[in-house]
Amino acid sequence: MNYQVHSHSVLESKISFPFMGMFDRIHPIFTYKITQLKHLGNSSGLKQRIPSSCSLHCSFTQKTFSSSTKISTEALSTEEDVIIALGSNVGDRVHNFNEALRLMKASGIKILRHGCLYETEPAYVTDQPCFLNSAIRGTTRLRPVELLKELKQIERRLGRVDGIRYGPRPIDLDILFYGKHKVESEELTIPHERIWERPFVLAPLIDLLGMAPSNEIEATWHSFARCSGGLFELWKGFGGGEESVGREKLRRVLPVASQLWDWSKKTHVMGVLNLTPDSFSDGGLFQEAASAVSQVKRLLSEGADIIDVGAQSTRPFARRLSAEEELGRLIPVMDAVMQIPEMEGKFLSVDTFYAQVAYEAVKRGVHMVNDVSCGQLDPEILAVVAEVGVPYIMMHMRGDPCTMQSEQNLQYGDVCKEVASELFERVREAELSGIPLWRIILDPGIGFAKGTEHNLEILMGLPSIRKEIAKRSLGASHVPLLVGPSRKRFLGEICGRCVAVERDPATIAAVTAGILHGANIIRVHNARDNLDAAKVCDALQRKRRTMRME
């Protein structure tokens, strides 16, 4: 069967660039288009004509450079970059997404990146439940029509049946882009014809890009938008782009327990529970189940949203326990904590870098895994977290607790830039292991392979960390940020407080700086006082947003 495949340079409307400044902005795409057309002419015997006289000042019509060409499916057997949109508003929507991802991988689609997860109001047919929307970026050897057939088969396997167009559905899978090609047939149109009018499609699509096109594929995708600013300009036109996220019609969410967590509404407090005899702050106080449960109740009564339970000390030079030793400390307390009624509606996190510990904890009802090593101390934890399907907190650290404060690991040029770069590499590894971006929380690792000045730079430089990550992945730059400066040694050095519990006022100052610079979660030992600080910071930020709008 033949279908219409257009070169990426074919646009349906005439675009003029009478000014050199505008030409400069599209020059990389323009240069690439000519190169690709020459390649097409050489490889397939096409007789496309490229004008020899094209001055920098002239207007031109992109249709001049190429025309529709019939190419058989066999000509598209090489691996191609694809972007596929996902939507669901029937049944367990998160489960539908998980199953769709699994079945796409089984069909030969290699998933490289995920967009964030959005809950959106329905479009076109409005009398139906809200949708979850996202998108993935990957590669496939399936030809366009073959890919379409695989996606339709996945939809059917997940229960989709013919019904009202734009009506309720357990899963909806649409091909947004397929390499540098345009496809037009009775069965399929690529780029997807309704991308340009759907903010719930554009938002996760933009997540899959960096701040600027990083290769020819991305440059082509931007050119399809028919705007001088590409997809970014198009996205900005929908209510201000990123400014529209967080409103009722488009909320960025993270699935945890049975909830869709909108972490942007307020700063969330994570209370620390150490089950260790040697932790720097409260070692030995909560090793027994009864005392641990009492501490959890206290933290919850003081306003903690999350309880983070750790059975292994990660202070500098701490002795590393085996996974079995860690579980021996953890399980009795975990089982007891899960039974208390105060945990209703709250989240429980396990602080571990062991895959075995993470697996056993989640089996007992834990909602999150908090890994200080981003999967570097036990690489199997990435596959386990992908399998159990819980949020994954990824913290930056160099080395391990015994080596993290070595001279080598404390060497930074620009600490924010390097932390961002190293965190992003771990995010890439996590996504390739099957952990969707919409389950990831990032922690820059205050006090871990950092000196005092580094910690201060990070607390003040959280926007720089997000911006640096955004150069590579806009989606990754939007995930929740956690900071944990609570009672850390650098605060003692600044304030002259040798005893950790005397550093609570300094902790309040540190978390205040972190929240005002973009932290979404604070990990603290003293929930009550830090919650008050968070409430004031949230009020200040709401006021700042109001003032901007006036």
Question: Measured in Å, how far apart are the chain's first and last C-alpha atoms?
Answer: 58
Q: Which of 439, 488, 489, 503 is catalytic?
A: 488
515 in Cβ contact with 534 (< 8 Å): yes
**Which one of the listed residues 523, 528, 542, 548 is annotated catalytic?**
523
Pairwise CA distance, residues 462 & 483, whole Å: 10
User: Per-residue DSSP letters for 285-329?
Assistant: SS-SHHHHHHHHHHHHHTT-SEEEEESS--STTPPPPPHHHHHHH
191 prior amide bond cis, ω within 30: yes
φ, ψ dihedrals at 402, nearest 5°? -80, -25
Residue pair 184/94 in contact (Cβ under 8 Å)? The answer is no
Return d(Cα 66, Cα 76) in angstroms, integer: 18
Do residues 92 and 20 touch, judged by C-beta distance below 8 A?
no
CA-CA distance, 408 to 394, in Å (whole number)?
Answer: 22
Q: How many CA atoms lie within 13 A of 311 on its CB side?
A: 23
367: Cβ contacts below 8 Å, ≥ 6 apart: 256, 257, 347, 348, 349, 390, 391
CA 482/CA 192 separation, integer angstroms: 37
Angle 58-61-65 from CA coordinates, rounded to 5°: 110
Residue 488 among the catalytic residues: yes
Nearest CA-CA partner of 530 in 483, 497, 470: 483
CA angle 477, 479, 480 (to 5 degrees): 125
- 33 tagged catalytic: no
- Point out the residues that are catalytic: 488, 523
